[in-house]
Structure 1
Amino acid sequence: MRKVIKKVALFSLPLFVACGSKEPVNEAPTVVNLVYPTQNLLCIDNSISFDWSDATDPNKDKVSYKVEIAKNRELTNIAKTQTANTSQATIILEKDVAYYWRVTAIDSKGKESEPSSVFAFYTKAEGESNIAPFTAELVKPVDESAVDGLAVTLEWKGADSNTGDTLTYDVYFGEDAIPTTIKEEGISVTSIQVTVESGKTYYWKVNTIDNAGAKSIGQVWSFKVN
């Protein structure tokens, strides 16, 4: 009787080990780097060969790519979305438009990487000599973040596909969700310091103007003071 019980126990052990095994966790692919169009590029042709680095997948899954092209830096006004199986895609866009693009890698199980950085470019119209600058790019404070202190530095980046242009900025700042009060006008620097009060939420935007008078209206950003 003892021998029978011993054999049953030995045969049961491999079954117990097999039942205790786990499926490997599905990890997201790596973030890609944008190659072309480069940041703030002026594109003569509106048929553009987009290019980015290959993503790798920790689980060796097959990777595809989601290309998003928008008419605003925040990518809420999407002009075109396209899926590609390689790290290149040719896409035809409108002429005379400022675009912003990014790429997200997706594995075969649907797991997405973090989106790439966002690059801006411009498709030039026929015979056009001056082009409006790109909308200002936020540096700090992070949009909808909470900050400490009673003095906050607002910082942004400006860019123009007409590389010879000189840019100036109008900065709107206040407690209204759509800021209408100009804090600074016609400045050439890309940061200012503002005085704030604890417990309040502030809104701001930066309009960018080139030396020919062409203007880009900025996105509204906000932050709350602890």
Structure 2
Amino acid sequence: MKHLTLVMMLLLLFGCGGKDAPKAPESSLLIFPLKDSECTTGVSLSGATSEVEFQWQTSDFTESYQIRLTNLVTNVSQNMSTTATSIKLPLEKGAPYSWFITSKNTNVTETATSEIWRFYNAGFQTSYAPFPAEIIAPKSGVSVLRSVNNEVELDWSGADVDNDIIGYEVYFSTNNPPETLVFSPLPNDTDVNVTVVANTVYYWSIKTIDSEGNTSDSGVYQFKSL
């Protein structure tokens, strides 16, 4: 009888303990509007706005998706949730936007984020300003170890629908906003070294310039040198 009881307890133990833990959602792949493009498929709603359909792929272990859309001129963002893999939103004509998708599952606290894509919603322009430079490093608010030459590398990327970037202006100083122009790199040069002093906070920004004289500003980023 004791042996039978022991066997039953073991069966219950292993039978109840085999359930897999819920899995975290995986990131989704974006489909449309295309990265660094002009979106011309919007349905006109008025002289100032058009409706654009955003599309992305299904991601595993996901119950719902949240799209975050940001107007890169006004820096105003909006968040919308859906269980579908597309959503239609009204956008300002001729304005640049960035967007990404967050995959969610109520069974876990973890989420997954897609890449961030940028695009222009078509308007009446024949020439578009460059997208604001995307800061790669140093990220804003971080502390950076200076090199043996007392330098820190500033790294960014640029994009333009018209593919006519002719250069950049790098502003860098201990003042906010930085007003000291320290470099004017050519379009293929997207990193520079700046001289720093230990235990000092620095501010920097990038102006992107195209052949039509259009410009865009990255906004101000900061880091502390160590």
TM over 0.5: yes
Partner of 2:46: none
The CA deviation at 1:108 is: 3.4
Which stretches in structure 2 are left out of the alignment for 5+ residues?
43-49
Looking at CA atoms only, which structure, 1 or 2, has the larger radius of gyration? Answer: 1
Once the 2 structures are TM-superposed, how far is the Cα of residue 99 of structure 1 from its aligned partner? 0.3
Residue 103 of structure 2 aligns with which residue? 105
RMSD of equivalent CA atoms:
2.9
Unmatched 5+ residue regions in structure 1? none
Distance in 2, Cα, partners of 1:187 & 1:162: 17
Task: Map Cα deviations across residues 67-112 of structure 1 (whole Å, 9 max, x no partner).
Answer: 1100139x9620x322221222222211111000000011133634
Q: Give, in whole Å, the separation in 2 of the partners of 1:25 and 1:11.
A: 26
- Quick one: which of 43, 46, 54 aligns to 2:39? 43
- Aligned residue number for residue 33 of structure 1: 29
Q: Secondary structure at the match of 2:160?
A: coil
Q: Distance in 1 between matches of 2:96 and 2:200?
A: 34
Maintained 8 Å contact 2:104/2:112: no
Structure 1 residue runs of 4 or more that deviate by more than 6 Å after TM superposition: none
Residues 157 and 190, structure 1, Cα contact 8 Å, conserved in 2: yes
Kindly indicate whether the alpha-carbon contact (under 8 Å) linking 2:158 and 2:208 is maintained by their aligned counterparts in 1: yes
**Pairwise CA distance, 1:172:** 0.7
Deviations 1:189-214 (CA, angstroms, capped at 9, x unpaired) = 21111111121121111011111111
**Count of residue pairs the alignment pairs up:** 214
1:142 aligns to 2:147 (yes or no): no
1:183 and 1:14, CA in 2 relative to 1: closer, same or farther beyond 3 A? same
1:132 to 129, 132, 136: 129
Give the counterpart letter for 1:138 in structure 2: I
Please list the CA deviations of residues 20-73 of structure 1 after superposition, one character each: whole Å capped at 9, or x if unmatched: 95985444200112121111110123322211121111xxxx511101100139
SS at match of 1:117: coil
State the identity as a percent.
27
In the alignment, the residues of structure 2 paired with residue 27 and residue 177 of structure 1 have an alpha-carbon distance, to the nearest angstrom, of: 44
- For normalisation by structure 1, the TM-score amounts to 0.81
Q: Tell me the TM-score normalized by structure 2.
A: 0.81
State how far apart, in whole Å, the 2-side matches of 1:64 and 1:131 are. 34
